[in-house]
Amino acid sequence: MIIEISACSHASRPVADRICVRRGDRQIRDAKCPHCIPIRSVGMRSAFHLLIIEKNRRFYFMELIWLRQMTESELFLPCLVSGIGGAMSHYVISSHLWPNRHKTYTWWFALRNHRKLGEPCETDIVLDRSGYSLGFSTQRKCALWVSYIISKKSIGVDVERGNIFYPDPDIPEKYRVRPDDFRNTGYDKGHLAPSAAIDYSVKSNNETFAMSNIALQHPKLNRQAWGSLEGVIRGWTHTKGKLAVVTGPLYGKRSTRVNDIPVPRTFYKVVYSFSHNSFIGFIIPNKDIKAGELWNYVMSVGDVERETGYKFFKKLGKKKQQKKKKLDLSWWKDG
């Protein structure tokens, strides 16, 4: 049982050699203090406290606490010195001793399972990268779907970004696309898993330049509406929480071929907010689409499924999947 012993204040001034033992607000007894400290000079605004434990009717002194009221002027200087010292310490640590501290936890993002919500369709080859997963079609020589999970802390880590496209060694050579296959075709090398959103490490960013993650994309679409959509999604990580994104190309029955690579007719992108259990989808033609026209191609994920024949986020529970048919456009457009 813990009992507090305080300087007796029943008299006009504290008594040096007597104490008042209390349990809560009830006085138990007066007693001589075996560890008495002279307190004649202590004013009534101060208090001498001794915490003890009573066991078998014997007192065991545990901790000595000295409490004294301080005026505002007395508190100001220590607080000011403490604040300035804390700010200087933070500056030294963040600027000189540990400038890249925000990069030390990024290994955690490499453990993400980007296929945890399911694969939308069957493909010939499935590859898991540090920052995304993809399903590759040997017939199309392109990924039919790419899925990735992003959050506000996994993007914009400010690593040195790559810019070198390379043939994917994990794709059989017969179906492997090379950067030169896109040269002078009139099409851009369009990222499916975007480089700007997967940059928590040099490795994860470099992997976005594998040609298995690239599609023939109209240059104005790539640089306008598609790029704008990617930027909007990055912004959503700050307001909608962690996001799961699935994207890919769609082909017509008779697709134009460039260097024996089919040209996509449209591109789809679907997004799921884990925190808010909300969905949004887009299907955008592979042609000159301006950034201001982006919202003309928005739809529910249920509508994207009907257009594509794919099944998105199929590992979610049935109640959550029912919301794929709904679209709260104003909520998503609010940013």
Q: How far apart are CA 270 and CA 215, in angstroms?
A: 17
Residue 136 identity (one-letter amino acid): F
Q: How far apart are CA 78 and CA 139, in angstroms?
A: 72
Which is the catalytic residue, given 102, 191, 218, 276? 191
* Residue 265: both structure tokens together: 């007719």
Question: CB count, 10 Å around CB of 140?
Answer: 19
Strand ranges (E), 24-132: 26-32, 46-55, 58-68, 125-128
296 labelled as ligand-binding?
no
276 is catalytic: no
Q: How far apart are CA 96 and CA 113, in angstroms?
A: 35
Q: How far apart are CA 99 and CA 93, in angstroms?
A: 7
Residue 91 identity (one-letter amino acid): Y
Q: How far apart are CA 176 and CA 167, in angstroms?
A: 6
Instruction: Using alpha carbons, select from 118, 112, 152 the residue that is nearest to residue 132.
Output: 112
Residue 71 identity (one-letter amino acid): T
Question: CB count, 10 Å around CB of 309?
Answer: 9
Residue 32 identity (one-letter amino acid): K
CA distances from 335 to 246, 281, 332 (A): 19, 15, 6
Which residues are 305's β-sheet partners? Answer: none
Q: How far apart are CA 150 and CA 210, in angstroms?
A: 19
Which residues are 128's β-sheet partners? Answer: 133
Which residues are 5's β-sheet partners? Answer: 21, 50
Active-site residue list = 191
Residues annotated in a binding site for Mg(2+)? 222
Residues annotated in a binding site? 222
